[in-house]
Amino acid sequence: MQPELRSLNRWTGRASVGGAEREWSLIQKVSHRDPKADDPSAWNYWKREFLAYRSGILEDLPGIVAPRVLGAEDLDGEATLLWLEEIPEAIPGRWPIGRYALAARHFGEFNGAYLAGKSVPAASFFTRAYLRSWATRLSILEIVRSPATWSDPLVASEVSAQSVEGLASLHFAIPRLLDTLDRLPQTLSHLDCWRANLIGRRTAEGRDSTVAIDWSFVGTAPLGQDLAILVFGSHLWLDADPREIDSLSSRAFASYLEGATAAGWRGDEHLVRFAYAASAALYMGPPLPFWFGRVADPARRAWLERKCGRPIEDVVQAWSLLLGHVLELAADAERTAERLGY
């Protein structure tokens, strides 16, 4: 039987330390070689996180924190094994807007530092076209034009014809937006930093830090792309309150710029705004109609309710709000690109 490509396990125990018995815990991550993702330049290269930890580049990051690696084994090129420290979450469940804004500031410091004098590490395993691979995996126009996508009555009642046409227009804008993003200065980026991959840590002294886990997509991207993934990835599965998308987006962007400035970045804020808006549109535009089209399938509907922890009515309504903001940012990105002469 073919083993699971990835597994995550928690190990616990007790140990005698200085004559006292103490509890310990750690996380074990196992990744098996995936022949379909064996190219180091591929967005989903199976060995990337292992190589990132083993290289040492995650040991002392500006702004954010990665779990300490306690062991890293390459099992004859067919699997990798990571032993990582376990870090408890200070705010279990849904973060308030303020905590998302703080995480945005931390990521602004992280991304900004590499455009303010800190050198981006040279690594052959970095992903350098993550969003391009993601945004072009699905034929957005084909999905949008298919009647089956909007066939469920609930979806049809929540998504306006104007939004459907907005998605179709986004399809034609994708190449230009991607090419423009590629021309911007590139910085070290996590590229999968939505809520499920973030831990809010609070020290005994009351200091808050943001821990980023799952570095499988680590690579380079423009300043602002990590923020788009943080904000919109967290909304897709309703980790963040969909009714707060506008205010969270605005506050997170402002906090992100504050973090980048604190790290020494002195670039053009308009370019960051373009990268944020364009990345949000490219990150969310293609998958949203795909998931709307799955609501009509009873099995998928049940899966979505379990995944989001909400009735399907709440999920579709949340996605409709998310889509509206995404399309606003898509239009914003095109206007900004035109104004900047890109």
- Beta 219-222 vs 6-17: how paired, if at all? unpaired
- Read off the amino acid at residue 178: L
What are 172-192's pLDDT values in tens digits?
999 999 999 999 999 999 999
More confident residue, 337 or 123: 123
What are 150-177's pLDDT values in tens digits?
999 999 999 999 999 999 999 999 999 9
Report whether 247 contacts 124 (CB < 8 A).
no
Across residues 110-122, what is the average pLDDT? 96
The gap from C-alpha 34 to its chain's centroid, in whole angstroms, comes to 22
- Rounded to whole angstroms, how far apart are CA atoms 292 and 319? 8
Class of domain 88-340: alpha beta
pLDDT band at 249 (very low <50, low <70, confident <90, very high): very high
Query: Count of residues for the chain?
Result: 342
Its pTM stands at 0.95
Across residues 295-321, what is the average pLDDT? 96
Write down the pLDDT at residue 3. 56
What are 42-74's pLDDT values in tens digits?
999 999 999 999 999 999 999 999 999 999 999
Structure-token pair, residue 191 = 């590229």
Assess whether pLDDT exceeds 70 at residue 280.
yes
- Rounded to whole angstroms, how far apart are CA atoms 45 and 56? 18
The chain-wide mean pLDDT, for the chain, equals: 94
Spans of all domains in the chain: 88-340
Across residues 285-313, what is the average pLDDT? 96
Across residues 217-243, what is the average pLDDT? 96
- Residue 226 φ then ψ, to 5°: -60, -40
Write down the pLDDT at residue 1. 43
Which one-letter DSSP state was computed for residue 75?
-
Across residues 123-137, what is the average pLDDT? 94
